[in-house]
């Protein structure tokens, strides 16, 4: 843990991490009530962003603390993930039920909805236990106090130094390469595992772009939007792959339940029409989403989106000012969170972009990327 890193990088990272801690804290009460599924969703996203940040700025944190925090936040993500996945399934099934259905399909749809709601109620108990532990004195509070100490007195610190740009370039370039390594597999819709892995790699890339977006001002906005669209489409493809794989298993479990209760499975027949109808519906929807993904990918390829991204991250937005502070950059180690300020900004230094605005969704009317339909996160 003796490696030292630049002060500016650590302060920049600590501010981002602190924002995610606050985001988790803000959603705790809503997640406990379970009345609005978006609380669980936003809390899960914040936990993922926090884990990503802990990985990006690991050299700024004490090794044992960081590992303990990472382990706890990973547990939170998993606990919330099960509930969130069920929320998505229930929402998809409710939407399907609102469409015109033959009467013979209703029993199967209703039975499936009943079982999912039962599982969601069980998952809420795990959410409650996890959130209450999160609200205890052992996880978020120590993390928040450490991060607050790390950034104390840094109001006038010039953060956008060459070292920070180098960190941004190296990390984004690595995650872009990981994401693009899967593009050879996208042309076969049966590459289920590879498409899912690409979605995960794309999520890591998007979260990393969001972390470093402030130092590039608005230059990464379109790429963040594009990555969100890709992530959403690949996520919907994966959700339907899960449905298609799981529903036959669900049918067999229902058969076993009915046989155990009645001694025979005759009443399963009235469920099969609806369940098989929903399987066919998921296959059709999956095909449509896969075609939408390919169309989106083709748009980005025609615009040389990934080459453009590489060009953006190669050059700081304010290189002259950044280079002016190279000689004065200080260092801070993970055991020294409050050793003083990084380079002070003189009165003549330009303002650095605000780090408060993490929603990189400003529109521009100059790029065909905006033709990509936007979805909720």
For 240-274, write each residue's pLDDT tens digit.
999 999 999 999 999 999 998 888 888 899 999 99
C-alpha–C-alpha distance, residues 10 and 331, integer Å = 9
For residue 369, pLDDT beyond 60: no
Higher pLDDT, 297 or 159: 297
Structure confidence at residue 324 as a pLDDT band (50, 70, 90) = low
Q: Is 6 helix (H, G, I), strand (E, B) or coil?
A: strand
| pLDDT tens digits along 186-204 | 999 999 999 999 999 999 9
pLDDT over threshold 50, residue 366: no
Candidates 107, 90, 165, 121; CA nearest to 320 is 165
Label residue 30 by pLDDT band (50, 70, 90). confident
Q: What percent of the chain has pLDDT over 70?
A: 82
Query: pLDDT band for position 320 (50/70/90)?
Result: low
Q: Which two tokens stand for residue 88?
A: 């998505």
Cα–Cα distance measured from residue 31 to residue 363, given in angstroms and rounded to the nearest whole number: 32
Residue 86 to residue 92: CA distance in whole angstroms:
10
Q: Which residues contact 168 (CB under 8 A, 6 or more apart)?
A: 212, 215, 216, 313
Residue 325 pLDDT level (bands cut at 50, 70, 90): low
Residue 86, pLDDT score: 94
Cα separation of 316 and 166, whole Å? Answer: 9
Per-residue pLDDT tens for 201-247?
999 999 999 999 999 988 999 999 999 999 999 999 999 999 999 99
Angle at 357 between CA 206 and CA 131, to 5 degrees: 70
Taking 70 as the threshold, does the pLDDT of residue 319 lie above it?
no
pLDDT at 7: 84
Alpha-helical runs (H) found in 135-220: 140-151, 162-180, 192-212
The reported pLDDT for the residue numbered 135 is 81
CA 204-199-178 angle, 5° bins = 55
pLDDT computed for residue 63 by the predictor: 87
For residue 110, what are the contacts with CB-CB under 8 A and spacing of at least 6?
274
List phi, psi (to 5°) of 185: -95, -5
> Are 215 and 164 spatial neighbours (Cβ–Cβ below 8 Å)?
yes
φ and ψ at residue 331, rounded to 5 degrees: -130, 150
Interval 266-292 mean pLDDT = 96
CA-based radius of gyration for the chain: 24
* Average pLDDT value over all residues in the chain: 84
Per-residue pLDDT of 331-360, as tens digits, reads 444 544 433 333 333 333 334 544 444 443
Tell me the C-alpha distance between 189 and 196, whole Å: 11
Phi and psi torsions of 327, nearest 5°: -70, -25
Cα torsion at 161, 162, 164, 170 (round to 10°)? 170
User: Which pLDDT score is estimated for 113?
Assistant: 96
Query: Is residue 351 a contact partner of residue 28, using CB atoms and an 8 Å limit?
Result: no
Burial (0-12, 13-18, 19+ Cβ within 10 Å), 218? middle
pLDDT reported for residue 200:
96
Q: Are 326 and 161 in contact (CB under 8 A)?
A: yes
Mean of pLDDT values over 315-321: 58
**Number of neighbours of residue 157 by Cβ within 10 angstroms:** 20
**Per-residue pLDDT at 323:** 54
pLDDT attached to residue 317: 56
Cα separation, 113 vs 23, whole angstroms:
31
According to the model, what pLDDT value does residue 352 have? 54
pLDDT above 60 (res 29): yes
The pLDDT of residue 144 is: 92
pLDDT at 283: 97
The pLDDT score that the predictor gives to residue 315 is: 73
For the stretch 44-92, pLDDT in tens is 999 999 999 999 999 889 888 899 999 989 988 988 999 999 999 999 9
Show the tokens assigned to 203: 């999520």
* Angle 28-214-176 from CA coordinates, rounded to 5°: 90
- Reading the block at residue 119, the tokens are 């599982």
pLDDT of residue 322: 53
More confident residue, 300 or 37: 300
């Amino acid at each position: 843990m003796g490696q030292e890193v630049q002060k500016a990088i650590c302060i920049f990272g600590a501010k981002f991490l602190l924002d995610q801690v606050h985001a988790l804290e803000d959603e705790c009460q809503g997640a406990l009530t379970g009345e609005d599924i978006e609380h669980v969703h936003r809390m899960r996203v914040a936990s993922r962003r926090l884990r990503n940040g802990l990985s990006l700025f690991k050299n700024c944190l004490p090794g044992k603390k960081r590992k303990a925090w990472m382990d706890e936040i990973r547990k939170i993500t998993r606990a919330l993930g099960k509930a969130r996945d069920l929320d998505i399934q229930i929402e998809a099934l409710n939407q399907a039920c609102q469409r015109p259905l033959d009467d013979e399909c209703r029993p199967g749809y209703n039975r499936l909805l009943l079982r999912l709601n039962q599982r969601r109620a069980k998952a809420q108990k795990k959410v409650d236990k996890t959130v209450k532990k999160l609200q205890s004195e052992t996880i978020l509070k120590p993390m928040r106090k450490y991060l607050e100490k790390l950034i104390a007195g840094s109001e006038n610190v010039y953060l956008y130094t060459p070292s920070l740009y180098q960190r941004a370039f190296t990390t984004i370039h690595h995650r872009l390469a990981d994401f693009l390594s899967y593009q050879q597999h996208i042309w076969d819709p049966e590459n289920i595992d590879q498409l899912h892995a690409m979605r995960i790699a794309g999520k890591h890339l998007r979260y990393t772009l969001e972390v470093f977006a402030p130092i590039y001002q608005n230059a990464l906005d379109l790429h963040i939007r594009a990555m969100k669209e890709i992530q959403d489409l690949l996520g919907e493809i994966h959700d339907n792959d899960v449905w298609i794989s799981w529903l036959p298993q669900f049918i067999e479990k229902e058969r076993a339940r009915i046989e155990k209760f009645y001694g025979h499975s005759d009443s399963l027949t009235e469920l099969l029409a609806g369940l098989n109808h929903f399987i066919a519906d998921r296959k059709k929807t999956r095909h449509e989403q896969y075609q939408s993904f390919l169309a989106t990918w083709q748009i980005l390829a025609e615009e040389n989106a990934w080459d453009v991204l590489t060009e953006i991250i190669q050059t700081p937005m304010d290189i002259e000012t950044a280079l002016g502070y190279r000689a004065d950059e200080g260092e801070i180690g993970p055991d020294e969170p409050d050793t003083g300020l990084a380079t002070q900004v003189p009165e003549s230094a330009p303002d650095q972009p605000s780090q408060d605005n993490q929603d990189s969704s400003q529109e521009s009317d100059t790029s065909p990327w905006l033709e990509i339909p936007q979805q909720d996160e």
